[in-house]
């Protein structure tokens, strides 16, 4: 992979980056309950925090990247809708492998989650999760 996509911090070369956008198109507020990375690190300017509020119409971005060649990025963000339940969003981009994402939800019968992915053939993937009413 080639680097020099963008500099997140002084001296950091980005080799692989995933930009996650959570689009709340529902009538329910979401809260960031938990999150973890299985690879890479968060951009300090675009990382989730416990208790972050995602109101209807908001589009927060979270950036997971690696500044090390031959490494992976990936993780999970768990959202808690104010109407109840849990939404988990997962992504994985192993070095030498293809980008993968999935969502799951429990106790959210009034909500559905879909996603759109672009950029899988480059070193920067854009991933938008859309939460909407059923």
**Domain residue limits at 91:** 16-133
Q: Is the pLDDT of residue 4 over 50?
A: no
Tens of pLDDT along 80-91? Answer: 999 999 999 999
In a domain? residue 91: yes
In a domain? residue 96: yes
Tens of pLDDT along 33-68? Answer: 999 999 999 999 999 999 999 999 999 999 999 999
In a domain? residue 88: yes
Q: CATH number, domain at 34?
A: 2.60.270.50
In a domain? residue 9: no
Distance CA 1, CA 16 (A): 8
Please give the distance of CA 78 from its chain centroid, rounded to a whole number.
10
In a domain? residue 2: no
The domain tally of the chain equals 1
- Nearest Cα to Cα of residue 56 among 18, 78, 28, 16: 28
């Amino acid at each position: 992979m080639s680097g020099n996509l963008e500099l997140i911090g002084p001296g950091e070369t980005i080799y692989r980056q995933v930009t996650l956008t959570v689009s709340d198109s529902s009538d329910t507020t979401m809260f960031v309950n938990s999150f973890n990375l299985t690879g890479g690190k968060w951009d300090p300017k675009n990382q989730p925090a416990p208790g972050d509020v995602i109101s209807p119409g908001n589009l927060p971005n979270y950036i997971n990247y690696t500044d090390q060649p031959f490494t992976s990025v990936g993780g999970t963000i768990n959202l808690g809708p104010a109407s109840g339940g849990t939404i988990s969003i997962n992504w994985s981009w192993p070095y030498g492998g293809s980008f993968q994402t999935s969502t799951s939800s429990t106790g959210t019968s009034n909500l559905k989650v879909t996603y759109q992915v672009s950029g899988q053939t480059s070193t920067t993937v854009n991933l938008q999760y859309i939460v909407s009413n059923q």
